[in-house]
């Protein structure tokens, strides 16, 4: 797997420098022609909205598809997407969406309410294996259908009384439900295209290929060169096409952040996915710097396979968590670009403050490890950390490996894996410890805490506690006030962190390099660009200058 880094570096350099033969950089030509060159992290696993799980996939899918509502990138408030309007019943349990009559698929077919009924049936079907199916659990009987407790999808709370009206019935009022409509797992897909290439629950079929895909977003897929570039052009059928300023977007996958940063400096990228940690101080000191660092609704942590010894002992998990000197890690490896984390939920999420059940405590860690049968590391069988290929992930893993050796005298090995292999390892729980990050799909503590439901598609730890599930699925949704709801969350998170199926490391900040010519892509808590808002202003040379249209 390690050999992929130089290979991907070479491919990226070829892709980025391909425009240089004319003497004009990608950025210069892109500014003139309305083409955005966007660094996008790892090669995507796929772009089926009911299969994908990663951030690189999210950027692609949200450019190609649109949900009933979208998030305004400046405010993160829901605004019309495929639905031009909606209203709630007095008790907050029924939402009526009115489909925009101008909404079209890229082949010209109208987008209808029936498309959503069928697509949500696909997303929730147990044969689909959709890891994000739980996003629709607020819908009446959605979870029962996924768990085969009912067979008739007609009993699920989504109906289409006519092509322009979608009526959704919820089990309980759900404050964040509209935010979910901008998550790709709730998007509609084009039924005739899906069925043309197999059964509707088949995964990774040919329907997502350039020559086959039918989508409904602001952009249309027209190029995919593996490990090099993914190209999209402005859609001719998108209902709001007159407000889409970009003519084209080219996404560049790379697992080598050094190559990406070099490409940015050479004028071949408008925007990077990340930045090498050791480059941050230089960019921070730069006048008129293109470096952007902002708060980000996400947590970096290690998944623990609680079914494998020695990690099946909560005392071992807690000892390892307590032996991590997070503040030193943030100051050195992270170059001050993140905040130490002791919980899964980022502090301050809509005013929620998570519990802190442990701290950096070497004496306590050694006592717990000894009680588990490994005094001073004796009889330790060894564990392995797996992480997706990234220099930053490697540095963190090496630092923790050394901390655990110094503090507890235990051996931990590390193994990097290419993105798709890593996702398979996590999904199949083929690991002892696995690097993981969770970025909020909506701004609410529930988005982090429902990960560890026994039935959660992204749980991947073996942790299951019916008391925890009841707090998240019953007590919190039925709470009459925000205070009562947050109290249920706090109790559940305290229970979770006492069992320690994850080891939290830090709360994210977003870290990008962005050319000053990029307009309409503000920083926000979810690091969520909406490319329909973006345009390029070649005359803008300072980030403090206003963008001109």
Q: Kindly state the tokens that stand for 437.
A: 């990050």
**For residue 157, which of 111, 67, 97, 80 has the smallest C-alpha distance?**
97
Residue 337 CB-half CA count within 13 A: 22
- As annotated, the residues of the chain forming the CATH 3.40.190.10 domain(s) are 4-45+209-293+512-536
Q: Tokens 């509707």: give the residue.
A: 200
* Packing angle, helices 257-265 and 391-408, rounded to 10: 140
Q: Kindly state the tokens that stand for 306.
A: 């609680």
Cα 527 to the center of its chain, rounded Å: 10
**For residue 42, which of 256, 224, 262, 350 has the smallest C-alpha distance?**
256
Average pLDDT over residues 448-463: 93
**CB of 113 within 8 A of CB of 162?**
yes
Least confident of 235-239, 247-251, 255-259, 434-438: 255-259
**CB of 24 within 8 A of CB of 538?**
no
Indicate if the pLDDT at residue 50 is higher than 80: yes
- Read off the pLDDT of residues 176-194 as tens digits, 9 standing for 90 and up: 999 999 999 999 999 999 9
Q: What is the pLDDT of residue 549?
A: 66
Higher pLDDT, 5 or 274: 274
Stretch (H or E) spanning 370: helix 362-371
Q: What is the mean pLDDT of the chain?
A: 93
Confidence of residue 22 (pLDDT cuts 50, 70, 90): low
- Bond prior to 241 in cis (omega within 30° of 0): no
**For residue 451, which of 421, 496, 407 has the smallest C-alpha distance?**
496
The CATH number of 4-45+209-293+512-536 is which of 1.10.260.40, 3.20.20.70, 3.30.300.30, 3.40.190.10?
3.40.190.10
Stretch (H or E) spanning 509: strand 502-513
Entry pTM: 0.83
Residue 360 CB-half CA count within 13 A: 13
Helix (H, G, I), strand (E, B) or coil at 97: strand
Which segments within 43-176 are labelled E, that is strand?
69-71, 78-80, 83-88, 94-99, 158-162, 165-169
**CB of 268 within 8 A of CB of 37?**
yes
Cα 144 to the center of its chain, rounded Å: 26
Q: Kindly state the tokens that stand for 227.
A: 């490990």
- Read off the pLDDT of residues 283-330 as tens digits, 9 standing for 90 and up: 999 999 999 999 899 999 999 999 999 999 999 999 999 999 999 999
Stretch (H or E) spanning 62: helix 55-64
Hey, what CATH topology would domain 294-509 get? Answer: Dipeptide-binding Protein; domain 3 (3.10.105)
Average pLDDT over residues 242-251: 97
- Read off the pLDDT of residues 198-233 as tens digits, 9 standing for 90 and up: 999 999 999 999 999 999 999 999 999 999 999 999
Percent above pLDDT 70 for the chain: 96
- As annotated, the residues of the chain forming the CATH 3.10.105.10 domain(s) are 294-509
**For residue 318, which of 285, 284, 358 has the smallest C-alpha distance?**
358
Indicate if the pLDDT at residue 527 is higher than 60: yes
Q: Kindly state the tokens that stand for 20.
A: 């240089």
Indicate if the pLDDT at residue 264 is higher than 70: yes
3-state class percentages of the chain: helix first, strand second, coil last, to nearest 5: 35, 20, 45
Distances 22 to 50, 62, 385, 404, 525 between C-alpha atoms, Å: 41, 32, 46, 53, 39
The CATH number of 65-203 is which of 2.60.40.10, 3.40.50.300, 3.90.76.10, 3.30.420.10?
3.90.76.10
Q: What is the pLDDT of residue 13?
A: 45
Q: What is the pLDDT of residue 548?
A: 75
Neighbours of 247 (CB within 10 A): 14
Average pLDDT over residues 106-121: 98
Rg over CA atoms, the chain? 23
Indicate if the pLDDT at residue 546 is higher than 90: no
**CB of 288 within 8 A of CB of 543?**
yes
- Read off the pLDDT of residues 372-392 as tens digits, 9 standing for 90 and up: 999 999 999 999 999 998 889
Q: What is the pLDDT of residue 9?
A: 44
The secondary structure of residue 14, as a DSSP letter, is H
DSSP structure string for 412-437: EEEEEE-HHHHHHHHHTT--SEEEEE
Q: Kindly state the tokens that stand for 289.
A: 């710097």
Length of the chain: 549
Confidence of residue 54 (pLDDT cuts 50, 70, 90): confident
Alpha carbon distance 545, 522 (integer Å): 14
- As annotated, the residues of the chain forming the CATH 3.90.76.10 domain(s) are 65-203
Q: Tokens 């963190």: give the residue.
A: 396
């Amino acid at each position: 797997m390690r050999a992929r880094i130089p290979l991907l570096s070479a491919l990226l350099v070829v892709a980025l420098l391909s425009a240089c033969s004319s003497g004009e950089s990608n950025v210069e030509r892109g500014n003139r022609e309305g083409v955005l060159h966007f660094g996008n992290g790892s090669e995507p696993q796929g772009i089926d909205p009911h299969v994908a799980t990663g951030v690189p996939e999210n950027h692609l899918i949200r450019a190609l598809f649109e949900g009933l509502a979208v998030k305004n990138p400046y405010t993160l408030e829901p605004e019309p997407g495929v639905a031009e309007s909606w209203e709630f019943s007095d008790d907050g349990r029924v939402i009526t969406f009115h489909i925009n009559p101008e909404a079209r698929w890229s082949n010209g077919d109208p987008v209808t309410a029936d498309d959503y009924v069928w697509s949500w049936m696909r997303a929730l079907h147990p044969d689909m294996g959709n890891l994000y199916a739980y996003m629709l659990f607020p819908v009446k009987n959605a979870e029962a259908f996924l768990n085969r407790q009912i067979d008739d999808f007609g009993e699920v709370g989504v109906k289409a009384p006519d092509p322009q009206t979608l009526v959704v019935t919820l089990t309980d009022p759900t404050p964040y439900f509209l935010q979910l409509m901008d998550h790709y797992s709730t998007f509609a897909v084009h039924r005739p295209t899906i069925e043309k290439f197999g059964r509707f629950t088949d995964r990774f079929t040919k329907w997502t290929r350039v020559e086959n895909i039918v989508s409904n977003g602001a952009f249309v897929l027209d190029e995919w060169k593996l490990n090099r570039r993914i190209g999209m052009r402005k859609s001719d059928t998108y209902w709001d096409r007159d407000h889409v300023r970009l003519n084209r977007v080219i996404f560049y996958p790379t697992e080598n952040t050094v190559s990406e940063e070099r490409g940015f400096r050479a004028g071949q990228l408008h925007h990077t996915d990340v930045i090498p940690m050791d480059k941050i101080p230089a960019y921070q000191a730069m006048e008129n710097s293109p470096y952007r660092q902002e708060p980000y609704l996400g947590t970096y942590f290690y998944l623990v396979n609680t079914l494998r010894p020695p990690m099946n002992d909560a005392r071992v998990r807690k000892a390892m968590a307590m032996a991590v000197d997070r503040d030193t890690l943030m100051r050195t490896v992270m170059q001050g670009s993140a905040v130490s984390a002791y919980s899964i939920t980022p502090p301050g999420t809509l005013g929620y403050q998570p519990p802190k059940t442990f701290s950096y405590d070497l004496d306590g860690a050694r006592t717990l490890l000894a009680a588990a049968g490994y005094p001073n590391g004796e009889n330790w069988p060894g564990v392995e950390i797996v992480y997706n290929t990234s220099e930053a992930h490697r540095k963190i893993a090496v630092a923790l490996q050394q901390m655990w050796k110094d503090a507890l005298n235990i051996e931990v090995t590390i193994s990097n894996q290419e993105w798709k292999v890593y996702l398979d390892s996590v999904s199949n729980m083929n690991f002892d410890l696995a690097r993981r990050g969770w970025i909020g799909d909506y701004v609410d503590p529930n988005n982090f805490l429902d990960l560890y439901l026994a039935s959660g598609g992204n749980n991947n730890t073996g942790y299951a506690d019916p008391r925890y599930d009841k707090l998240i699925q019953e007590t919190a949704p039925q709470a009459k006030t925000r205070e009562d709801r947050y109290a249920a969350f706090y109790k559940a998170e305290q229970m979770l962190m006492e069992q320690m199926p994850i080891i939290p490391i830090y709360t994210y900040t977003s870290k990008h390099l962005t050319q000053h010519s990029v307009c309409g892509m503000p920083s926000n808590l979810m690091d969520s660009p909406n490319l329909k808002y973006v345009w390029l202003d070649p005359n803008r040379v300072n980030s403090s200058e206003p963008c001109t249209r």
